Amino acid sequence: MASTILEIIDFVNGQSNPAQTINEAVAVLEASSDGMLTVDSSGDSDVTLTDTGDRPRQWHYGYIEVDNTGSAWTAQRNLNVPANTKRYIVYNNNGAAFNCNVQVTGGGGAGVAIANGKTAVVQCDGTDVLRVTDDTA
């Protein structure tokens, strides 16, 4: 069984490798509270935070910098986050004059546009991404 917010796997009494479960839980908690992740939108494209693979996964991180080391953005791009309840600090560092729109993967709900060179705190409620703070330098 896993927690419903960060999907941390519960420790089960008598399991064969409890240290792995505990270490993984600590890594996820650290990433969520103080972890910094840079994602590259090179190629003038949207970025989707991963929800698979080793933990912590990209969506677990609390601070996300959207960078661009490739082609310059020609339009607003999206940072797609999973449909999980989660707060993010997002820094749009794309180097062009375009916003980064933070939205739930698939784009069905509301999103938050963050100006280039600005940082904002946003909250995903599982459907929409809502603004917590104004953009700041």
Instruction: Give pLDDT tens digits for 78-128.
Output: 999 999 999 999 999 998 899 999 999 987 899 999 999 999 999 999 999
Confidence of residue 49 (pLDDT cuts 50, 70, 90): very high
In a domain, 28, yes or no: no
Count of the separate structural domains present in the chain: 1
Domain hosting 91: range is 36-131
In a domain, 78, yes or no: yes
Q: Which of 96, 92, 89, 137 lies closest to 113, judged by CA?
A: 92
Query: Average model confidence (pLDDT) for the chain?
Result: 91
Q: Which residues contact 72 (CB under 8 A, 6 or more apart)?
A: 44, 95, 96
In a domain, 44, yes or no: yes
In a domain, 51, yes or no: yes
Average pLDDT over residues 1-8: 73
In a domain, 106, yes or no: yes
In a domain, 7, yes or no: no
The whole model's pTM is what? 0.89
- How far apart CA 71 and CA 47 sit, in angstroms, is 14
In a domain, 14, yes or no: no
